[in-house]
Chains A and B, each alone.
Chain A
Amino acid sequence: MDQFYINLLFVGASFALYFGIAIWARAGSTKEFYVAGGGVHPVANGMATAADWMSAASFISMAGLIAAGGYANSTFLMGWTGGYVLLAMLLAPYLRKFGKFTVPDFIGDRFYSKPARLVAVACLIVASVTYVIGQMAGAGIAFSRFLEVDKDTGLVIASVVVFFYAVLGGMKGITYTQVAQYCVLIVAYTIPAIFISLELTGNPLPPLGLFSDHTASGMPLLAKLDQVVQDLGFAAYTADVPNKLNMVLFTLTLMIGTAGLPHVIIRFFTVPKVADARWSAGWALIFIALLYLTAPAVASMARLNLINTVYPNGVDAQPIQYEDRPEWMKTWEETQLIKFEDKNNDGRIQFYNDKADMSDKGWAGNELTYNRDILVLANPEIAQLPGWVIGLIAAGGLAAALSTAAGLLLAISSAVSHDLIKNSINPNISEKGELMAARASMTVAIVVATYLGMNPPGFAAQVVALAFGIAAASIFPVLMMGIFSKRINNKGAIAGMLAGLVTTLVYIFMYKGWFFIPGTANLPDNVDNWILGISPLSFGAIGAIINFTVAFVVSNATEEPPVEIQELVESVRYPKGAGAAVDH
């Protein structure tokens, strides 16, 4: 069967499943729309959280990032998993006990302040909108590559699918679709990885294969990889980083950013009890780890495979003739994701680090450039796996993008309908009216996200800086203080959130341009100009420290929170009574 029809079959079947779930899981009340009725089993919630969390970036881009950076990009692996430890111990159980619908709900009630709620809503919307654009764009790319439609058509198809189950089912529809999407994406990710691990090391488990011997050379895989990349003028794969402070801060920013992202936190509002919130976090991390433990294996093996493809007789011998390049390179050349330019006109593909001088070999520069995403997308073809594996990758990439997009859209629409409309503008709105408002906000959010996905603004590429920076510097600290301190009051919380947010944004804008407008940066964005070598992407952790400090100082200089607020803090600390959730 033609590859196109195989892809169509896999994607079509997975979409039919999502539609089926949407019809089965319609939301009849605001509680069902916002928190799936609060009755989701912890294992199901763990899977849904994993799909909610693992985005197009985790599925498509992360292995490519690690392949390019080697050890230095371990930050993503530790950062995007370590945050769950913080979530499980510092936030999820207590926020579940609080028992309301949104993250700004807690901030507004705990700090008895409408402005605090509104600052939280603003942070949530900026972080989530930035994040969702990347998901929409990712879905568009997956469609255009695998189903041969243009990117914008692909994006519209993806939006219609999300619209169907998110507007109809709200959190209830999203939750059970995410469970299905998790199964699709994890199978799609691990199957090619198992084949490649077997091929290179003889070990069927990729995380073990990574540390096994490379069958062809008899050397440990990592030693072999270190050797060939260094021969080609690149830094060793396992080489240490020059600036540990920056690596620590970046990892910390990713961790506390993960724990502070509203679309992840609200997943823990859907389980029946406080203990279930903890169980959910445990399951979620296991399901996430299945992909995150596999990704570094895919990364190193794909990089070695790519080098072996170009240098079939070893890196000391001549690279292949362009005319003899494998079929997959031809396919991906059409998408422009991989490019060849014969700089020394010898008809061969010289692939090495430009910065190393190889003119003695007659090389005139690196001739092969590729988009890092193809290391996952083209993985099955590079490893010469059957056509159905490629179809699986198509369905998996779409599942990863759509599941995260839906979670983000719910976080955005519930902040609008619940925090803005119900709790700020029109407190007398009926239950039915709020449910309608929730569906309307969801619809608007989808339309806006689709439009922005087609016409990505400059900030769309700054997901890590904006989403994780803001979540780390403003949302995480204020949630944590709201639970662990009775002394932090409304003034302290607002001052802390704004101080963390503003310093982080200013530091990012200084290097990346004010509001990301090109040409407005004050300093070139490179390590020589960063203060103490701290990258703008790593500043969220510093912003969090500023947030904690300012909140502490301001609260201690002003009056204690009222007694009923101190009682509220007491009550979120003890699990008993969460089952009877607060009625709205």
Chain B
Amino acid sequence: MSTQSESASSYWRENLRIITTYMVIWFAASYGCGILFVDELDKIQFFGFPLGFWFAQQGAIYVFIGLIWAYVFSMNRLDEKYDVHE
């Protein structure tokens, strides 16, 4: 029983670590690149367009998609590892 709950809590700890990592990227892509540092990024002309504006209207959305899919695969692996998948 105690080993089971130990593995349960380490499953949860790993989940929290994955979430934290992805939330940092989530924040950086939208609030960081899209809002707070948009002026600095706009000075970089990436293929002739302002990078900050691109992040605010396109880039952030691509990052969000990438994050959810990365989370899906990370968690599926984690579920397998701890044998909590269905």
Q: Is the CB of B85 within 8 A of A575?
A: yes
Q: Which of A89, A238, A251 is within 8 Å of B31, CB to CB?
A: A251
Complex alpha-carbon distance, A577 and B8, angstroms: 14
Q: Does A90 contact B (CB under 8 A)?
A: yes
Q: Is the CB of A210 within 8 A of B64?
A: no
CB within 8 Å: A-B pair count = 126
Q: Using Cβ atoms and an 8 Å threshold, which residues of chain B touch A247?
A: 35
Q: Which of B38, B60, B62 is within 8 Å of A240, CB to CB?
A: B38
Q: Is the CB of B57 within 8 A of A210?
A: yes
Q: Which chain B residues (10-49) contact chain A, with CB distance < 8 Å? A: 11-12, 15, 19, 22-23, 26, 30-31, 34-36, 38-39, 42, 47-49
Q: Is the CB of B36 within 8 A of A573?
A: no
Stretch in A134-142, A272-280, A326-334, A442-450 touching the partner:
A272-280
Q: Is the CB of B56 within 8 A of A77?
A: yes
Q: Using Cβ atoms and an 8 Å threshold, which residues of chain B touch A573?
A: 8, 11-12, 15
Distance (Å) between the CB of B31 and the closest chain A CB? Answer: 6
Q: Does B1 contact A (CB under 8 A)?
A: no
The residue in B47, B60, B68, B84 that gathers the most chain A C-beta atoms within 10 A of its C-beta is B68
Q: Which of B8, B47, B49, B86 is within 8 Å of A275, CB to CB?
A: B86
Q: Does A576 contact B (CB under 8 A)?
A: yes
Complex alpha-carbon distance, A439 and B24, angstroms: 44
Q: Is the CB of B22 within 8 A of A273?
A: no
Q: Is the CB of A222 within 8 A of B53?
A: yes
Distance (Å) between the CB of B51 and the closest chain A CB? Answer: 10
Complex alpha-carbon distance, A273 and B79, angstroms: 12
Interface residue ranges, A against B (CB under 8 Å) = 66, 71, 74, 77-78, 81-82, 84-85, 88-90, 93, 207, 210-211, 213, 220, 222, 238, 240, 244, 247-248, 251-252, 273-275, 278-279, 281-282, 285-286, 289, 292-293, 296, 570, 573-579
> Which B-chain residue is minimally distant from A219 (CB atoms)?
B48
Q: Is the CB of B53 within 8 A of A88?
A: no
Complex alpha-carbon distance, A574 and B4, angstroms: 12
Q: Using Cβ atoms and an 8 Å threshold, which residues of chain A touch B22?
A: 85, 89
> Which B-chain residue is minimally distant from A222 (CB atoms)?
B49
Interface string of B43-86 (1 = CB under 8 A from A): 00001111001101110111011011101100110010000111
Interface residue ranges, B against A (CB under 8 Å) = 8, 11-12, 15, 19, 22-23, 26, 30-31, 34-36, 38-39, 42, 47-50, 53-54, 56-58, 60-62, 64-65, 67-69, 71-72, 75-76, 79, 84-86
Complex alpha-carbon distance, A3 and B29, angstroms: 45
Q: Is the CB of A579 within 8 A of B86?
A: yes
Q: Is the CB of B75 within 8 A of A275?
A: yes
Q: Is the CB of B35 within 8 A of A285?
A: no
Q: Is the CB of B58 within 8 A of A282?
A: no
Distance (Å) between the CB of B81 and the closest chain A CB? Answer: 12
> Which B-chain residue is minimally distant from A274 (CB atoms)?
B86
Q: Is the CB of A90 within 8 A of B47?
A: no
Listed A/B pairs (26) with beta-carbon separation below 8 Å: A71-B53, A71-B56, A74-B56, A77-B61, A84-B64, A85-B68, A89-B19, A211-B47, A220-B49, A222-B49, A222-B50, A222-B53, A238-B50, A240-B39, A275-B76, A275-B85, A275-B86, A278-B75, A292-B61, A573-B8, A575-B85, A575-B86, A576-B84, A577-B86, A578-B86, A579-B86
Complex alpha-carbon distance, A85 and B65, angstroms: 8
Complex alpha-carbon distance, A81 and B19, angstroms: 17
Q: Using Cβ atoms and an 8 Å threshold, which residues of chain A touch B76?
A: 275, 278
Q: Which of A244, A282, A577 is within 8 Å of B36, CB to CB?
A: A244
Q: Is the CB of B36 within 8 A of A576?
A: no
Closest 6 CB pairs of A and B: A74-B56, A296-B57, A211-B49, A576-B84, A282-B68, A88-B68
Q: Using Cβ atoms and an 8 Å threshold, which residues of chain A touch B34?
A: 74, 78, 251
Known: A85-B68, A278-B75, A282-B72. A273 touches B30 (CB 8 A): no
Q: Is the CB of B71 within 8 A of A88?
A: yes
Q: Is the CB of A293 within 8 A of B8?
A: no
Q: Using Cβ atoms and an 8 Å threshold, which residues of chain B touch A279?
A: 72
Q: Is the CB of A278 within 8 A of B72?
A: yes
Q: Is the CB of B53 within 8 A of A81?
A: no
Distance (Å) between the CB of A379 and the closest chain B CB? Answer: 18
Q: Using Cβ atoms and an 8 Å threshold, which residues of chain A touch B35?
A: 244, 247-248, 251
Known: A244-B36, A278-B75. A210 touches B58 (CB 8 A): yes
Complex alpha-carbon distance, A66 and B53, angstroms: 12
> Which B-chain residue is minimally distant from A90 (CB atoms)?
B19
Q: Using Cβ atoms and an 8 Å threshold, which residues of chain B touch A71?
A: 38, 53, 56-57
Q: Is the CB of A78 within 8 A of B61?
A: yes
> Which A-chain residue is minimally distant from B34 (CB atoms)?
A78
Q: Is the CB of A220 within 8 A of B71?
A: no
Q: Using Cβ atoms and an 8 Å threshold, which residues of chain A touch B54?
A: 211
Q: Using Cβ atoms and an 8 Å threshold, which residues of chain A touch B23?
A: 85, 89
Q: Is the CB of A238 within 8 A of B68?
A: no
Q: Is the CB of A251 within 8 A of B68?
A: no
Q: Is the CB of A576 within 8 A of B86?
A: yes
The residue in A78, A273, A573 that gathers the most chain B C-beta atoms within 10 A of its C-beta is A78
Q: Is the CB of A574 within 8 A of B84?
A: yes
Q: Which of B12, B50, B58, B75 is within 8 Å of A293, CB to CB?
A: B58
Distance (Å) between the CB of A418 and the closest chain B CB? Answer: 25
Q: Which of B30, B42, B53, B71 is within 8 Å of A278, CB to CB?
A: B71
Q: Is the CB of A282 within 8 A of B69?
A: yes
> Which A-chain residue is minimally distant from B60 (CB atoms)?
A78
Q: Using Cβ atoms and an 8 Å threshold, which residues of chain B touch A252?
A: 31
Q: Is the CB of A275 within 8 A of B79?
A: yes
Complex alpha-carbon distance, A575 and B11, angstroms: 11
> Which B-chain residue is minimally distant from A286 (CB atoms)?
B65
Complex alpha-carbon distance, A74 and B31, angstroms: 11
Q: Using Cβ atoms and an 8 Å threshold, which residues of chain A touch B57?
A: 66, 71, 74, 77, 210, 296
Q: Using Cβ atoms and an 8 Å threshold, which residues of chain B touch A248?
A: 31, 35-36
The residue in A71, A84, A207, A289 that gathers the most chain B C-beta atoms within 10 A of its C-beta is A71
Q: Is the CB of B56 within 8 A of A85?
A: no
Q: Is the CB of A82 within 8 A of B65?
A: no
Q: Which of A82, A274, A576 is within 8 Å of B30, CB to CB?
A: A82
